[in-house]
Amino acid sequence: MHQLITLSDRMKCAITGTIIDKGEQAYYNYQTKNCIHPLEYEKNMRQTKIGDPKTYFTRLQKLNK
């Protein structure tokens, strides 16, 4: 299961291969040790219809209040 974290190092998105910079948020899987960009994760969750109904943007908005 992926967990939303703030990256301490630059990492590569496992789906698209784009670089996610240090300090940005990404979904990280501790078992497979890979990360997914939040936009890709939310897109995949919408397609599969599983997961938390709250989106990354809703959680981010609450964090920034």
Range of the domain at 11: 3-63
Residues 33 and 3: beta-carbon distance below 8 Å? no
Q: What is the count of structural domains for the chain?
A: 1
How far is residue 57's CA from residue 14's CA, in Å, rounded to a whole number?
20
Q: Return all residues near 14 (Cβ < 8 A) that are at least 6 apart.
A: 32, 34, 35, 36
pTM beyond 0.85: the answer is no
Measured CA distances, 23 to 11, 26, 29 (Å): 11, 9, 17
- pLDDT for 42 equals 86
- pLDDT for 17 equals 92
**Nearest 5°: CA angle at 15, between 45 and 61?**
50
pLDDT surpasses 90 at 53: no
